[in-house]
Amino acid sequence: MADHNWDENKKPLLEEHSKIKHEILRSYVIKYIEILCTQLINSGATKFSIYLVDGFAGGGIYENDEKGSPFILLEAVEEAESILNKGRQKEFKIEAHFFFVDKNEKNFNSLQSAIEQSRYKGNKNINLYHKSFDSVCGDIVSNIKSRHPRGGGRAIFFLDQEGYTDVSPQMVAKIINLMPNSEFIIYTAIDWFLDFIHDDEKFKKAFYSMGLADYLEYSFSDLIRIKNEGDNNWKHVIEASLGRAWQKATNARYFRPFFLEPSNRHRGYWLLHLSPHHAAHDAMTNIHWQPNIGNHMRHCGDSEQLGLYLIGHKPKDLELPVFSFNESFKNSNIEQLKKDILEKLRFKDSLKVNDLIDSHRNTKAASNNMCYETLLMLLQDGKIEIMGEKGGKKRMKEDKENGKIITNINDNDIIFMQRQGKLFI
């Protein structure tokens, strides 16, 4: 972790917010591998290759022998492989290659020593770099591409930078261009940036070093003005615009910023997830809905609503909500989805389920299952009709054993507005 320094005689304490980061990383890597490998196993494959890059790896082991991100990645691959092989007679093998980078000499020496003293000693697939990530990024990408000359290499880049300028969107865009199947989990100290906003040369230099100026909806002077106006929403407005700028600058198909709000400190972090795959994007969304994770995360409402809050177009009396990932936020997401679906059907004859879900992936915190749940509610209420891919209306069925009203909804199903409401209730 970039925000800690390892000393020969004393390891740093793993803080609560870093434990949440590690839990997100562990859960995501396991789920990502499960999703991809389940498809491969069903097609008869026996092996899967993946590349895991920790660009700010830290010293490996914290105080009280708590594990850092390199060991989280190593163990997550083992756990995923164990899950996939449960009940199988023929072993399915995950061939994982690890790239651990840290420019700090004490951190690097600590990590090297920790690996040498672990069961991973001698693992030839572990590559250590005592350099800055930006200086070795090209070499790592070339290494991976040499193994997949036709493309297709699957990689996850975990970039837990100390501030907000060590990982530029241009660097990420270059990796995406060379390796389109790459996933990114990027932490950035967004609250440090927001608190640092001042009309002086020092901040101006930091602002332009982020690499987002050409993609933002406002100028440097607008940024200063928004903060100085003292509006209650100013942080959310700037965060939303920075998020959209990140997506534009990297050209990532799926993008989602989550906010990690430490309970014991003033400033929080962004977790930026960039992915080319809708299933991976949904996996990360589901992780944030887990109670052990969601209670520590924040989401600044619907980014479509935040988009109304552009320079010169501020709606009167608009109070932008801030949500935690709890039952109340889930219910509000579902209610908003209901309105959005019916509104879309006012202007279109029909909608494909997958197209509907895809239109919300970068703007709402709703998971795929929440979208399916919303469609079932609208179907049960007689607001919509759903046709199967091969024709025939979807009808609700009563599951007497579980006391639920169910039907199966598939991504290729077609949604229509109900032409005639229910006659009887």
pTM above 0.85, yes or no: yes
Q: What is the mean predicted confidence (pLDDT) over 326-339? A: 86
59: Cβ contacts below 8 Å, ≥ 6 apart: 4, 6, 11, 12, 68, 102, 106, 107, 108, 109, 110, 111, 114
Domain made up of 16-306: CATH architecture: 3-Layer(aba) Sandwich (3.40)
If one compares 257 and 168, the residue with the highest pLDDT of the two is: 168
* β-bridge pairing 297-298 and 269-275: unpaired
Domain made up of 328-417: CATH architecture: Orthogonal Bundle (1.10)
Q: CATH 3.40.50: which residues of the chain?
A: 16-306
Distance CA(208)–CA(214), nearest Å, equals 9
- Least Cα distance to 300 among 370, 224, 371, 364 occurs for 364
178, pLDDT greater than 90? yes
pLDDT bin (cut points 50, 70, 90) of residue 422 is very low
If one compares 404 and 157, the residue with the highest pLDDT of the two is: 157
Q: What is the mean predicted confidence (pLDDT) over 282-292? A: 87
Distance CA(365)–CA(333), nearest Å, equals 7
Distance CA(140)–CA(171), nearest Å, equals 13
pLDDT score, position 144? 95
321, pLDDT greater than 60? no
59, pLDDT greater than 70? yes
Question: ∠270-271-277 over CA atoms, to 5°?
Answer: 140
pLDDT score, position 305? 46
384, pLDDT greater than 80? yes
- The answer to whether the beta carbons of residues 34 and 140 sit under 8 Å apart is no
Q: What is the mean predicted confidence (pLDDT) over 413-420? A: 82
Q: Is 231 exposed, middle or buried (0-12, 13-18, 19+ CB in 10 A)?
A: middle
pLDDT bin (cut points 50, 70, 90) of residue 404 is low
105, pLDDT greater than 80? yes
Q: CATH 1.10.10: which residues of the chain?
A: 328-417
